[in-house]
């Protein structure tokens, strides 16, 4: 653990972002762990869910949090050095090596027939697996969000200049919200593509980007009066997220077409997450403690990308191996085994794959802070 201690001690503009990311990935892991056990016992069904399962809806906001944080950091990185070559070089170095290792290990183990399709192999190697129906879900469910993430990267050089113009930014956000509603309702079906591709998630990235721009352009003095002047701002955002999460859990599924509010769930969830993120940043600048300042959350934030890449298939394997479907009493041992295996593989991936690229030698120019771990 000395490696993590050293990495946490490195200078950082906003250490709170590590904790925000870490809390999000821990929620992802917990959500997937419970969901895999419930699915093994055939307790998850479409339609209204029993009261005990309503809290599961809260876990679905973790991916929203990752996308909001990504918008904050990625547009910040582009503004700091708006050059296409270095920008995409950093993105590739950040995401692709650890991801490639997971592909080379998991595809032969879980779906070796994939190698028989040159198209599927190409999509996986370029992080575009979510474009093929059922491809990522058959191997490693969390991979889907990397496709959406990469698509946002491709748009950043075009979107960033608009986000710095007062009228254009709000017109762009309004258009993104309308696009998201249409996409979740009928757009993805008309195009024959997945619902969580960028058109459905764009408001989350843009709200995060606008928060990052507000912090840099206005400084934190003006924002303190709006956000950190009262803790009720954060409390209201948390209460709203709790209400939306329980609503989703009560419906039992995500984005049901027969529930009108589901089409509009992305913009408000992103807004409340963005307000919470802004509150944490301002609170940290004021020197006050935050809910994500703890060492555990920050350490989880450092290793979150590797944890994202590996936890789901390891948990699923443990649940299947210990026969949770036939013997519900094995659920706890399966989760303990799966979590322990995930932690071990995560540490190895971070220590020997991610870290050498994220912590370059002193004579080299440091790369950006790790920006996001989208996962679900």
pLDDT band at 45 (very low <50, low <70, confident <90, very high): confident
Give the model's confidence band at 230: pLDDT under 50 very low, under 70 low, under 90 confident, else very high.
Answer: low
Asked whether residue 294 carries a pLDDT value surpassing 80, the answer given is: yes
pLDDT on residue 5: 84
6-15, 157-166, 238-247, range with the lowest pLDDT: 6-15
Count Cα atoms within 13 angstroms, Cβ side, for 339. 14
What's the CA dihedral at 64, 68, 74, 79 to 10 degrees? 160
The pLDDT value recorded for residue 285 is: 82
Over residues 85-101, mean pLDDT: 96
For 267-311, the DSSP string reads: HHHHHHHHHHHHHHHHHHHTT---TT-SHHHHHHHHTHHHHHHHH
With a CB cutoff of 8 Å and minimum separation 6, the contacts of 344 are: none
CA nearest 21: which of 226, 206, 280?
Answer: 280
* DSSP H helical ranges for 10-117: 16-40, 56-59, 61-80, 84-110
pLDDT in tens, 144-154: 999 999 999 99
Tokens representing 130? 């979510």
pLDDT of the residue at 365? 43
Rounded Cα–Cα distance for residues 132 and 244 (Å): 30
Q: What is the 3-state secondary structure (H, E, C) of 149-192?
A: HHHHHHHHHHHHHHHCCHHHHHHHHHHHHHHHHHHHHHHHHHHC
- In this predicted structure, the answer to whether residue 364 has a pLDDT above a threshold of 70 is no
The pLDDT of residue 253 is 64
pLDDT of residue 362: 44
Residue 359 binned pLDDT confidence (cut-offs 50, 70, 90): low
Average pLDDT, rounded, for the chain = 89
Judged against a pLDDT cut of 60, whether residue 363 lies above it is answered with no
The average pLDDT across 350-369 equals 65
Digit-coded pLDDT (tens) for 64-80: 999 999 999 999 999 99
- Span 112-139, pLDDT tens digits: 999 999 999 999 999 999 999 999 999 9
Q: What is the mean pLDDT of residues 309-320?
A: 98
Nearest CA among 19, 32, 20 for reference residue 59 = 32
Q: Which two tokens stand for residue 374?
A: 């989208």
d(CA 79, CA 59): 32
Cα separation of 365 and 36, whole Å? 42
- Global pTM value: 0.93
Residue 42 gets the label, from left (phi > 0), alpha (psi -120 to 50) or beta, of left
Q: What percent of the chain has pLDDT over 90?
A: 69
């Amino acid at each position: 653990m000395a490696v993590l201690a050293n990495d946490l001690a490195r200078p950082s503009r906003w250490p709170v972002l590590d904790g925000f990311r870490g809390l999000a990935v821990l929620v992802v892991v917990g959500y997937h762990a419970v969901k895999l056990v419930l699915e093994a016992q055939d307790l998850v069904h479409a339609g209204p869910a029993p009261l005990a399962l309503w809290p599961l809806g809260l876990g679905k906001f973790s991916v929203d949090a990752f996308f909001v944080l990504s918008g904050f950091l990625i547009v910040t990185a582009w503004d700091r050095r708006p050059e296409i070559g270095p920008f995409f070089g950093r993105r590739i170095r950040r995401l692709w090596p650890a991801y490639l290792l997971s592909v080379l290990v998991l595809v032969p183990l879980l779906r070796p027939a994939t190698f028989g399709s040159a198209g599927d192999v190409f999509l996986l190697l370029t992080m575009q697996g979510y474009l093929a129906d059922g491809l990522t879900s058959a191997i490693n469910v969390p991979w889907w969000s990397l496709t959406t993430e990469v698509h946002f990267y491709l748009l950043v050089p075009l979107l960033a200049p608009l986000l710095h113009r007062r009228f254009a930014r709000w017109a762009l956000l309004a258009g993104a919200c309308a696009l998201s509603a249409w996409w979740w309702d009928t757009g993805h079906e008309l195009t024959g593509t997945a619902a969580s591709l960028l058109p459905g998630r764009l408001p989350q990235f843009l709200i995060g980007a606008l928060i990052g721009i507000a912090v840099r352009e206005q400084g934190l003095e003006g924002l303190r009066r709006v956000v950190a002047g009262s803790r009720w701002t954060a409390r209201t955002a948390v209460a709203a997220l709790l209400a939306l999460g329980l609503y989703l859990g009560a419906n039992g599924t995500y984005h049901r077409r027969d529930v009108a509010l589901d089409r509009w769930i992305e913009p408000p969830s992103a807004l409340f997450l963005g307000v919470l993120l802004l509150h944490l940043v301002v609170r940290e600048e004021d020197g006050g403690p935050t809910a994500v300042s703890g060492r555990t959350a920050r350490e989880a934030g450092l290793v979150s990308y590797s944890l994202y890449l590996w936890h789901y298939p390891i948990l699923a394997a443990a649940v299947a191996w210990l026969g949770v479907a036939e013997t519900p009493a094995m659920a706890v041992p399966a989760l303990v085994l799966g979590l322990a295996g995930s932690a071990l593989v995560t540490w190895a991936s971070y220590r020997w794959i991610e870290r050498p690229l994220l912590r370059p030698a002193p004579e080299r120019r440091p790369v950006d802070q790790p920006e996001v771990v989208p996962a679900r």
